[in-house]
Amino acid sequence: MRWTLKRGKKLDLFQYTQRKLTFTYTWLIVLFLALFSIIVSVFFIFMAYHEQSNSLRATMSATENGAVVIPDLENSRNNDMYFFYVLNNKSGEVLAHSDAIPEFSDYSLKLIRGWRADGESFRLRWLPEIHKQQGDVILVSENRVLFIGAQPIMTADGIATIYAAKDVTYYWDILRTLLIVFICILVLFIIVAVKFSSSMSKKAMIPIQQSFRHQQQFLADASHELRTPLSIMNTSLDVIEMENGETITPYSKEVVLDMKEEIGRMSRMVQHLLMLARSDVGSAQFEMGSFDIVPKLRQWVLAFEGVAQKKSITVRKMLPDTLTVKGDPERLKQLVYILLDNAIKYTPEGGKVDVGLDPNPRQWRIIVRDSGIGIAKEDQPRIFDRFYRVEKHRSREEGSAGLGLAIAKQIIIAHRASIALESEPGKGSTFSVEFPPYKQA
């Protein structure tokens, strides 16, 4: 399994939170507007349906002396009525009819033929644009939306159905315009909402940001201040050891040794905390320069030879003769120390550790490979988190606090590099830090 920490800018928690807030605000505003548009449209449709169906019902059930009233639509196009038909259900024969435009009656008939209504019912139908030749003249009927009602009645010849249609194109156009206006407003609102939410969330973040910075500054100052008493304690213990070299009892000697070990552990932790706090506040100093990394790397690896020998671990170096790179030598040393320290710490006796330098001009790499205990797939992305340790007890015995790789991450980010980890439990791990190309001026 390969896990990669992507190259790029430092992930700013505040930027991330601000973006999330902006997104939530915008989403809420858009949701409210969309809901409002839907409610208005549904209300409009309901009102139009109610009004038009009442009007159709009145026309279909109008009687005079027990007979159905057939409106004269051709001469008086009352109430937007478009056609009125009475068809025999069995034979389909037209018993009575009236059309606003009689020339297009066959098209109207097509809309109702085959529609058998058991009781009163309503339908919306589209009548497309029609061009009809009549003699030398071409008759044109424009696109229409018809709202048609059907109602069965009893006649002397059996059951018949009254079909009455209203031209509701006007309502349809209003609804369409309304929807277009809503969509335009929605788009406009999204733009305004993004701008507005972004400035609102920025304002909301200011006090939190300030308090966070103060805390980080406090941590940086406190860690800095802690370093002096720790080094004084260390020197004092050295003095005690030197002055009482011969007379000190074995028990006191052990106590002094334990104290020195604990002070050492604390110093390392304070140093790590200081580095992390400084990089959080943005005050971590990186002195970038170009230098030949090969002799430095030899020196850095040499520093671990003693510890490796104690565990009978073979350390191999695979380095080119020379490689000029750009970076902060002190920080790169810290990075290599963290990776090498872990490689040796988490490799059992008799294992192997390889340190390589890939001089690829497009992407030079430092590779640290071990034949150690490996890291499970689910732990791989988390080991770069602060205070994260896979085996808490074991790591504690090894004198670690889970801050090493968190610092390595900061150094990698500052160098605009990335790190890839390939590891399998029981087989070992390979950490490969990939640096951007170094162009010489």
Q: Give the nearest distance from C-beta 371 to ligand ADP in angstroms.
A: 10
Q: Give the nearest distance from C-beta 379 to ligand ADP in angstroms.
A: 7
What is the length of the chain? 441
User: Based on CB atoms, which residue is closest to ligand ADP, 111 or 383?
Assistant: 383
Q: Give the nearest distance from C-beta 341 to ligand ADP in angstroms.
A: 7
Q: How far is CA 188 from CA 29, 33, 191, in A?
A: 12, 11, 5
Interface with ligand ADP, residue 355, by CB under 6 A: no
Interface with ligand ADP, residue 226, by CB under 6 A: no
**Which 123-182 positions form the footprint of ligand ADP (CB under 6 A)?**
none
Question: Which residues sit opposite 85 in a β-bridge?
Answer: 97, 163
Residue 426: how many other CB atoms lie within 10 Å: 8
By CB under 6 A, name the one of 29, 315, 390, 417 that touches ligand ADP: 390
Q: To 5 degrees, how large is the angle CA 105–CA 108–CA 112?
A: 135
User: Based on CB atoms, which residue is closest to ligand ADP, 71 or 402?
Assistant: 402
How many residues line the site for ligand ADP (CB under 6 A)? 23
Contacting range for ligand ADP; rule: CB under 6 A; set: 95-103, 201-209, 285-293, 397-405: 397-405
Q: Give the nearest distance from C-beta 439 to ligand ADP in angstroms.
A: 32
User: Based on CB atoms, which residue is closest to ligand ADP, 111 or 421?
Assistant: 421
By CB under 6 A, name the one of 401, 414, 436, 438 that touches ligand ADP: 401
Contact 163, 84 (CB under 8 A): yes
**Which 309-338 positions form the footprint of ligand ADP (CB under 6 A)?**
338
Contact 163, 121 (CB under 8 A): no
User: Based on CB atoms, which residue is closest to ligand ADP, 113 or 396?
Assistant: 396
Q: Give the nearest distance from C-beta 284 to ligand ADP in angstroms.
A: 17
Q: Give the nearest distance from C-beta 394 to ligand ADP in angstroms.
A: 8
Q: Give the nearest distance from C-beta 308 to ligand ADP in angstroms.
A: 13
Interface map 370-389 toward ligand ADP (x if CB under 6 A): x-xxxx-------x----xx
3-class SS string, the chain: CEEEECCCCCCCHHHHHHHHHHHHHHHHHHHHHHHHHHHHHHHHHHHHHHHHHHHHHHHHCCEECCEECCCCCCCCCHHHEEEEEEEECCCCCEEEEEECCHHHHHHHHHHHCCCCCCCCEEEEEEECCEEEEECCEEEEECCEEEEEEEEEEEECCEEEEEEEEEECHHHHHHHHHHHHHHHHHHHHHHHHHHHHHHHHHHHHHHHHHHHHHHHHHHHHHHHHHHHHHHHHHHHHHHHHHHHCCCCCCHHHHHHHHHHHHHHHHHHHHHHHHHHHHHHHHCCCCCCCEEEEHHHHHHHHHHCCHHHHHHCCCEEEEECCCCCEEEECHHHHHHHHHHHHHHHHHCCCCCCEEEEEEECCCCCCEEEEEECCCCCCCCCCCCCCCCCCCCCHHHHHHCCCCCCHHHHHHHHHHHCCCEEEEEEECCCEEEEEEECCCCCCC
User: Based on CB atoms, which residue is closest to ligand ADP, 71 or 374?
Assistant: 374
User: Based on CB atoms, which residue is closest to ligand ADP, 116 or 427?
Assistant: 427
By CB under 6 A, name the one of 216, 395, 418, 432 that touches ligand ADP: 395
Interface with ligand ADP, residue 402, by CB under 6 A: yes
Q: Give the nearest distance from C-beta 345 to ligand ADP in angstroms.
A: 6
Contacting range for ligand ADP; rule: CB under 6 A; set: 49-57, 77-85, 305-313, 398-406: 398-406
User: Based on CB atoms, which residue is closest to ligand ADP, 328 or 341?
Assistant: 341
Interface with ligand ADP, residue 342, by CB under 6 A: yes
Contacting range for ligand ADP; rule: CB under 6 A; set: 9-17, 19-27, 139-147, 395-403: 395-403
Q: To 5 degrees, how large is the angle CA 123–CA 125–CA 126?
A: 170
Q: Give the nearest distance from C-beta 350 to ligand ADP in angstroms.
A: 16
Q: Give the nearest distance from C-beta 247 to ligand ADP in angstroms.
A: 37
Q: Give the nearest distance from C-beta 361 to ligand ADP in angstroms.
A: 28
By CB under 6 A, name the one of 405, 413, 417, 433 that touches ligand ADP: 405
User: Based on CB atoms, which residue is closest to ligand ADP, 370 or 434?
Assistant: 370
The answer to whether the Cα torsion of 212, 215, 217, 220 is positive or negative is negative
Helix pair angle (404-414, 250-281), 10° resolution: 30
Interface with ligand ADP, residue 410, by CB under 6 A: no
Q: Give the nearest distance from C-beta 240 to ligand ADP in angstroms.
A: 29
Token look-up 């706090």 returns: 277
Residues that bind ligand ADP (CB under 6 A): 338, 342-343, 346, 370, 372-375, 383, 388-391, 395, 400-406, 429
